[in-house]
Amino acid sequence: MATWGPDGSLGLDEGQTYEFKVPAHCRATLQFSADAWWENACIIYPSRPRRPQKYCERGNYSRSLANWVAPVREEDAYYLITGWHKDGPPKASVPWHQSRIMVHEENTTETFHEVSFEDVHSSDGYDDLRVTVTIRPT
């Protein structure tokens, strides 16, 4: 059953997602930025167990790019970062697609993660939507 994406009607390509762990008693702050003409969205889901329950949805146009702070938990928490786009600006009749992801390994540590998404299939800019995750003890 396809229940992922901004409209809850898509399947999920696991190869275009990123999982990160927030240790118990730590706070994760996610920062978002967008530089895209096409409509883009980033959705954060629970990863363990993996289910299509939206914790956070950010993006360009009518979506906010405000930071999201994950709740502090008594146990480790795992989150899934996903990116989505339309082939153009917002229009109800244009379908959503899962975006290609790039993990910036050179910047990734246990307490900092950086990923970005590309909405054009013929481009390798990965500059359309960016997410950084900073994890700190509470």
How many domains does the structure of the chain reveal?
1
Q: Is residue 8 part of a domain?
A: no
Q: Is residue 118 part of a domain?
A: no
Q: Is residue 62 part of a domain?
A: yes
Quick one: CA dihedral 53, 56, 59, 61, positive or negative?
positive
pLDDT number for residue 120: 85
pLDDT number for residue 128: 95
Q: What's the token pair of residue 58?
A: 């950010």
Write out residues in the chain with pLDDT < 70, as ranges: 1, 122
pLDDT number for residue 107: 82
Between CA 48 and CA 118 the distance in angstroms is: 26
Q: What is the pLDDT of residues 25-57, one digit of tens each?
A: 999 999 999 999 999 999 999 999 999 999 999
Q: Is residue 132 part of a domain?
A: no
pLDDT number for residue 1: 61
Q: Is residue 51 part of a domain?
A: yes
pLDDT number for residue 117: 97
pLDDT number for residue 122: 67
Domain assignment of residue 76, given as a range: 18-30+40-80
Q: Is residue 55 part of a domain?
A: yes
Q: Is residue 50 part of a domain?
A: yes
Between CA 66 and CA 5 the distance in angstroms is: 19
pTM of the model: 0.95
Assess contact for 24 and 75: CB atoms under 8 A: yes
Q: Is residue 126 part of a domain?
A: no
